[in-house]
Amino acid sequence: MARLKFLCDSDRCIECNACATVCKNEHEVPWGMVRRRVVTLNDGEADEKSIAISCMHCTDAPCVAVCPVSTLYQTDLGIVLHDKDTCIGCGYCYYACPFGAPQFPRATLFGSRGTMDKCTYCAGGPEENGSEVEFEKYGRNRIAEGKLPLCAEVCSTRALLAGDGETIGEIYRERVVKRGYGSGAWGWSTAYYPEERP
């Protein structure tokens, strides 16, 4: 069975933030929270790279393992989702996640965090697919519509890939093998013949 994954090609990401912006707008994510963000490593240096980060929907997700009330769960497709009705705001998932994906909307004087929010891979939540309640809590369910997550669809350089883990892994492998110089530096050349290169 296919397991859906994200992969960000740091050699292609141009830090346009289109993925982060469209995610926030599409799902009407509240102010102060982000489900996807772009991080730049070695900013201003020759080896500067950018990468889009969100929930990576881990195969053996540490956030699912530490949740004391089973708010987080994994679907048959490998998507890690959460149930806002059962979240107690303990923050264990926040500390367990290596990507900083779980977000909490508010911090009050008495330490209440509110219910957790994170990337849903555009797959909604436990409510009925396409329902108004599902959209209100989790955003649009594009997976139920047979579409990929919107962040990956709007990526102009195709740095952000989404889909079956094996398929996107193969796409990335082909890119790395074909990477070269000039127009081929991003792995876009369809034919690369090393024997023709001086």
Residue-wise pLDDT for 115-156, tens only, equals 889 999 999 888 888 888 888 888 889 999 999 999 999 999
| Those residues with Cβ within 8 angstroms of residue 149's Cβ, 6 or more apart along the chain or in another chain | 6, 121, 122, 142, 143, 162
Which tokens is 54 given?
């969100």
Task: Name the DSSP class of 38.
Answer: E
Bridge partners of 103, per DSSP, are: 117
What CATH number is attached to the domain comprising 13? Answer: 3.30.70.20
Q: How confident is the model at residue 109 (pLDDT cuts 50, 70, 90)?
A: low
Give the chain's domain count: 1
- The amino acid sitting at 175 is R
Range of the domain at 181: 4-196
Give pTM, 2 decimals.
0.81
Q: Tell me: the pLDDT tens digits for 7-60?
A: 999 988 999 999 999 999 998 887 778 899 999 999 888 888 999 999 999 989
d(C-alpha 51, C-alpha 102), whole Å: 18
